Amino acid sequence: MSTNTPSVAPLGSTPRPTRILVIFGTRPEAIKLFPVVAALKADPRFEARVCVSAQHRGMLDQVLEIAGITPDHDLDLMRPDQSLDSLTAALITGLGKVMDIEKPDRVMVQGDTATAMAGALAAYYRKIPVDHVEAGLRSGNIYHPWPEEVNRKMIGAIASLHFAPTTTSQAALLRENVDPARVHVTGNTVIDALHWVGDRIKANPALASGLADLEARFAGKRIIGVTSHRRENFGDGMENIAQAIRTIAQRPDVAIIFPVHLNPNVRAVMNERLAGLDNVALIEPLDYPHFAHLLSLAEIMLTDSGGVQEEAPALGKPVLVMRETTERPEGVEAGTAKLVGTDSARIVSEIFSLLDDKAAYEAMARAHNPFGDGHSSRRIVEILCEEMGQA
C-alpha cells in the first residue's frame, strides 16, 4: 500500500500547494466529484487539476456545464457502443500521458467505472498515491454489478486513502485487510451534490422548469420515475423491464417518466417496446437539476442505477431496484429501497403493491439518509490536508 511522506520545507517558507489530479469520465462520477473539485479549488493548500476521459460525452457535458467545470484535459474517448477492452486500453494510455504532463502529487478517482479503474492503475504504474472517493462498496458477486465490482476491488488494492461513504463500506475494506488508518468514513458526496442542486433550484426555479409540459400532460396522475442502464441487464433484462413498464402503463391513474440512457443497448429496446404509449414519456437524459426535479415529482423510483439508490432515500422516495443484488445495502436495510430483480411479473406486482397499499408505501417513504449529511467533500479535503501535513 502506498503512503505519502510530507516533504520538509525550509524554515519560514510557505508549503507548495498539493497538486491533485481529479479524474472522471461518466455522468455519475461527474455528479459525485464536482462538489469535491469545488472544495479543492476553494482551498489554497491545493492545486486541483481536472482530467476528463469523456468515456461519456453528452451526459458528462451536461454535468460539466451545470457545475461550471472546464477540464484542464479532455481525452474525448467515447466511441459508439464501446467495448470494455478497447476503452480500458485507451484510458490507461491516455490518462498515463496526462499524468506525465501534470506530474501530480496525488490522483483522485471516484467509484467504479472503467475510467476510475484505469486512472488508479496508471497512477500506480507511476507510484503516485491514489485517493478513492466512494470506496469499499461490495456486492460480493463479481458479475453483479459487472464489471464494477472488480473495478472497485482493483482500486481498493491500489488506493492510498479510502473515502468510504458509510460504516458498511468501511467494514468491507477492513475485512479485506486494508490498514484501518487509511480508511475514512466521509458520507457520500452525492448528497453534497443533491443539496447543492436543490439550493440552486430554490434560488432559480427556471433551472428545472423544462418538465412543465409533461407535468401538465400528466396532471392528476401518479408519477413513476424510471432509469435503466446496467450492462448485466442488457438483453433479456431490458426486455423484461420494458414489458413490466407496458403492463404498469395500462393503469389509467399512472404516468411513467423515463429519461433514457444514451447507451444504444438501452435505447433500442425501450424505443421499440415503449414509444407511443399514452402515459409513458420516453425522454432524453435530463440534466441534474431536471433529474432532481423528477425525483421530487415521482411517487416511486424504479431503477437499476447506483446513484439513484442513494438519492431517492435521501428524499423519502421509495426506490425499487431492478437488480439481483446491491453493493449499497444501506437503503434496503433502512427499508427505503427494495431489490426486485428484472422479472416482469415481480416488478409489476411490487409497483402495484406500493400504489395500492398505503401502509406499504408509507413504510418505505421515509426520508432517511444513510449516505451522508451533505458535508462529505469538506471532510475529504480536511483528511487530505492532514495526510499532506498541511492541516
231 in active site:
yes
Q: Toward ligand UD1, which CB reaches closer, 121 or 348?
A: 121
112 in active site:
yes
Q: Which does 259 bind (CB under 5 to 8 A by kind): ligand UDP, ligand UD1, none?
A: ligand UDP
The binding site for ligand UDP (CB under 6 A) comprises 27-28, 31, 190, 227, 229, 259, 285-286, 288, 291, 305-308, 311
126 in active site:
no
Helix axis angle for 307-314 and 288-297, nearest 10°, is 50
Q: Are 53 and 121 in contact (CB under 8 A)?
A: no
For residue 63, the SS3 value is helix
Least Å distance, CB 225 to ligand UD1, is 16
Least Å distance, CB 28 to ligand UD1, is 5
Q: What is the signed CA dihedral for 147, 307, 71, 106, rounded to 10 degrees?
A: -70
In sequence order, which residues have a C-beta less than 8 Å from that of residue 155 and are 6 or more positions away? 109, 112, 116, 117, 120, 130, 132, 135
Least Å distance, CB 190 to ligand UDP, is 6
Q: Find the largest Cα–Cα distance for the chain.
A: 75
User: Measured between alpha carbons, how far is 207 from 144 in angstroms, rounded to an integer?
Assistant: 35
| Residue of 105, 148, 299, 387 marked active site | 148
Q: Toward ligand UDP, which CB reaches closer, 102 or 112?
A: 112
Q: Toward ligand UDP, which CB reaches closer, 18 or 55?
A: 55
Least Å distance, CB 233 to ligand UDP, is 11
R_g of the chain computed on alpha carbons:
21
Q: Are 381 and 40 in contact (CB under 8 A)?
A: yes
Q: Are 182 and 155 in contact (CB under 8 A)?
A: no
User: Measured between alpha carbons, how far is 335 from 259 in angstroms, rounded to an integer?
Assistant: 26
Least Å distance, CB 33 to ligand UDP, is 11
The rounded Cα 74 to chain-centroid distance in angstroms is 20
Q: Which does 307 bind (CB under 5 to 8 A by kind): ligand UD1, ligand UDP, none?
A: ligand UDP
330 in active site:
no
| Residue of 43, 74, 105, 112 marked active site | 112
In sequence order, which residues have a C-beta less than 8 Å from that of residue 21 and are 6 or more positions away? 49, 50, 51, 98, 99, 102, 104, 106, 107, 108
Q: Find out whether the peptide bond into 147 is cis, omega within 30 degrees of 0.
A: yes
Q: Which does 313 bind (CB under 5 to 8 A by kind): ligand UD1, ligand UDP, none?
A: none
Q: Toward ligand UDP, which CB reaches closer, 99 or 340?
A: 340
Q: Which does 149 bind (CB under 5 to 8 A by kind): ligand UDP, ligand UD1, none?
A: none
176 in active site:
no
Q: Toward ligand UDP, which CB reaches closer, 227 or 344?
A: 227
Q: Toward ligand UDP, which CB reaches closer, 149 or 311?
A: 311
| Residue of 229, 230, 251, 323 marked active site | 229
Q: Which does 81 bind (CB under 5 to 8 A by kind): ligand UDP, ligand UD1, none?
A: ligand UD1
Cell of 230: 446496467
| Residue of 73, 261, 290, 328 marked active site | 261
Helices (H) then strands (E): counts for the chain: 16, 13
357 in active site:
no
Q: How many CB atoms lie within 10 A of CB 318?
A: 26
Q: Toward ligand UD1, which CB reaches closer, 55 or 326?
A: 55
Least Å distance, CB 30 to ligand UDP, is 9
In sequence order, which residues have a C-beta less than 8 Å from that of residue 385 and are 6 or more positions away? 43, 45, 391
The binding site for ligand UD1 (CB under 6 A) comprises 26-28, 55-59, 78-82, 84, 87, 112-114, 147-148, 229, 231, 262-264
Question: Catalytic residues, which ones?
Answer: 112, 134, 148, 229, 231, 261
